[in-house]
Structure 1
């Protein structure tokens, strides 16, 4: 029971800690204006054009930190605060999303792999727990195993997301530095924003792997009892 409470605490606290870290860092640097005074939309457009991605549009999207790149429609979508903002946070987030557009253009292997996993991950996320819960409560190891197999797709998606996000952040830093969008004195703060954002993906992957391991242990115990 004690070990389970520790595990439960971890899967609850890790994502909360990551979200607090992201919001705290973002809110702090959203109040720090960049020396270039460029808006997030201008930063995104500048990097896109410099990489020959004239066909990719930059649009506003609703929500808080809802920024993303859509590879299907070839659009970089920025939340209103980042689209209009002149802050270091807006610069970092906008450049990061354009980093994904550059990955798309250059056929970055992990980006392509993650994109191909989307339907598998969606199916796994939606169906796996049905079989897992029935398998555990009915003590049917075969159903539990089926749920674990379905869950593997979702877990793999979370793990593959890590190199995709870190690579996009590295590309973002290279672009804002080489194009003079930020000064040398702003590099450290910009990296802090990018690193904090990456924590959400690290936390999600860690929780997914922990849950998968727990279920595998339950399955092996159930199989021994059979």
Structure 2
């Protein structure tokens, strides 16, 4: 299928030529969390048809936003992962998340939700809170599951995230979805949320690994 274009000599129009189609930016959102198989993408993009997803992935590969890589044996699957150009869309998605925050009032009965969908708006807040401390990897546990964020002490904008808990987190934050939404969109700070008891934080040094030592 030929590329559709606005045929305008404008940076915004050129960007929308590549990412303006329905589902494209949500596929980027999923792949910002790491390599994903087709079945994983389809599971975490409720509402997309298999034909539409396959078409968008081909378009994004053609446009240099992602690549497809075959996993070595014994795995018999391919994974999709973003190129550096695709990763460059993170600030755009973060800005869109901030802009769309006022629309997150009551969750509608038809709304799907995944824990890692809150990672992008939350990353800047975590980077700010832990900027001066030793914490680099943070687990966030919500009602729907968990994700983790890896912070960069030298570049707050270079934080990254992945679905599921980290193997060795420096800190674990537990909260409900409503609290996460409010935190991610600066309705209160992480410090305020911890002080109010809306968020629970634990560190590895807080855990007793040897019951006999108690």
On whether the aligned pair clears a TM of 0.5, the verdict is no
Q: Which has the higher strand share?
A: 2
Q: Which has the higher helix share?
A: 1
Q: Pick 1 or 2: higher relative contact order, CA cutoff 8 A, min separation 6.
A: 1
| Structure number, greater radius of gyration | 1
TM-score by length of 2: 0.26
TM-score by length of 1: 0.25
